[in-house]
Amino acid sequence: MKDIDLDFFIKNIADLCAVPIRYFVDGSFKNIYSTVEIKIDPFEFVKDEIFKLEKHIDYFTSKNNFYYVIVQNENTKIIIGPSFFNIPEDYTLNRICFEFNLNREDSISFKNTIKTINRFPLETLLQIACSLNYILNDEKIKLGDLLMKDLKVPTQQIEQKEQNENEKIVLPHNTMKIENELLSIVKSGDLNKLKFYIENIPSFRTNSIVENQIRQSKDLFITTIALITRAAISEGVNIEEALTLSDNFIQKIENSRTMKELNEIILSALTEFTTKVSYLKNVQTQTEFTLKLSNFIIHNISRKLTIDDLVNNFYISKTSLCEKVKNNSGLTVNEFINTTKIGVAKDLLSNTTNSILSISDYLGFSSQNHFVKVFKKYVGTTPSEYRKNQNLKNS
């Protein structure tokens, strides 16, 4: 094959698509080609996960539904992305900035970067990857080949693993007991109990294991993810949100290579699902209607929700909505929204180090001052005072 100027080829694709492309040689960063100025690079937050991928063409989807495609051989890695099916809205970007623990200046830079990246279907980026793969590996792979080989279909994997669990999984003697206890904790939404349990369970502190056992552990953890997903859904967690989380964790499990990585993933999944349930438990009165209502609020926690948003979601008149919320919770609609958000705020203040401003943005408040005012109204102290008191209790 004629020598190809790979730099020139990659740069032209990046210019054409307006999606960043990174180029690594022998493990070292060589260049990034982008029509967008990237000061805060979302790739840095998922780089380790992407570098674990081993196929010549593969992809990674972050928990925020940003996707990256990688083309590689032993010496070279070309990473396209991030891109997305729909440009994220401001409230989604606020949530991501909170998860990355960015300060205000970095958050503004990050959001401006994301808004100027082109959106593409994942299949389009995979098709570009096929062309790059031909140049890089002299290998003719078509998009249809990739889709038929099923690079990743996590939801189907859940069902398959559950169907075959008795045939394929060799369970340690105490696995069922551990599983049941963990499911009980997830359903309770008790983060302190989960933390205590994890710190005192030997099975989660294993760092070495032989290869065939790693495969067995992956199968077991995939089944566990399916079970805790269903447990969270049974406690009212939004189905779409729960399944998206489940798919992302299963993808991470399949990409992991060591028992240490697997342990970190399953602990992260347990914490994430328990936290979702914990948020719902923070609402004192949980009738079937208020459970659905608080679930909707939590699923859209970074949005500045209005009564119209709830009316449109529940297909109900404003009058009926106000009456139903009052009868089921004793609160007005706005009070119910604020109560739910403040419940989440209390949990974040107790269990994260994110700034008050970051938490305020994440919860969709118009300003930090507004957040502090609402928090003090419902809790009796400022967010800073509440965090200080919680730290004293836990010290």
User: Looking at 78-87, 277-286, 306-315, which range is the least confident one?
Assistant: 277-286
User: Looking at 15-29, 33-47, 254-268, which range is the least confident one?
Assistant: 254-268
pLDDT, tens digit, 9 for 90 and up, residues 82-103? 998 877 888 788 888 888 888 8
Mean pLDDT, the chain, rounded, equals 81
Residue 3: per-residue pLDDT: 65
pLDDT, tens digit, 9 for 90 and up, residues 10-29? 999 988 888 999 999 998 99
Measure the CA dihedral 62/66/71/72, to 10°.
Answer: -30
User: Looking at 75-84, 85-94, 146-155, which range is the least confident one?
Assistant: 146-155
Contacts 24+ apart (CB under 8 A), 373-377: 374/338, 374/341, 374/342, 375/342, 375/345
DSSP state of 20: -
The Cα 284–Cα 133 span in angstroms is 55
User: Looking at 83-92, 145-154, 261-270, 317-326, which range is the least confident one?
Assistant: 145-154
Q: What angle do CA 250, 256, 260 make, to 5 degrees?
A: 110
pLDDT exceeds cutoff 50 at 267: yes
Nearest to residue 345, comparing CAs of 319, 323, 365? 365
Residue 78: per-residue pLDDT: 95
Residue 256: per-residue pLDDT: 79
User: Looking at 82-91, 107-116, 151-160, 192-201, which range is the least confident one?
Assistant: 151-160
Residue 71: per-residue pLDDT: 95
**Within its chain, how far is the Cα of 166 from the centroid?**
30
pLDDT, tens digit, 9 for 90 and up, residues 271-284? 888 888 887 776 65
Q: What is the pTM of this model?
A: 0.61
Largest CA distance in the chain: 75
pLDDT, tens digit, 9 for 90 and up, residues 325-377? 888 888 899 999 999 899 889 888 988 888 898 899 889 898 999 999 999 99
Residue 167: per-residue pLDDT: 36
Nearest to residue 361, comparing CAs of 93, 77, 39? 93
Three-class SS string for 35-95?
CCCCCCCHHHHCHHHHHCCCCCEEEEECCCCCEEEEEECCCEEEEEEEECCCCCCHHHHHH
Q: What is the DSSP string of 282-350?
A: TSS---HHHHHHHHHHHHTTTS---HHHHHHHHT--HHHHHHHHHHHHSS-HHHHHHHHHHHHHHHHHH
Return the structure tokens found at 324: 């139903």
User: Looking at 221-225, 235-239, 382-386, which range is the least confident one?
Assistant: 235-239
3-state secondary structure of 29: strand
Q: What percent of the chain lies above the pLDDT cut of 70?
A: 85
DSSP state of 5: -
Higher-pLDDT residue of 150 and 11 is 11
When pLDDT is cut at 50, 70 and 90, the band that residue 293 belongs to is confident
Asked whether 78 and 70 are in contact (CB, 8 A), the reply is yes
Number of residues assigned to the chain? 395
When pLDDT is cut at 50, 70 and 90, the band that residue 163 belongs to is very low
Sheet arrangement for strand 67-72: 28-33, 21-25, 76-83, 67-72, 57-61
Residue 327: per-residue pLDDT: 86
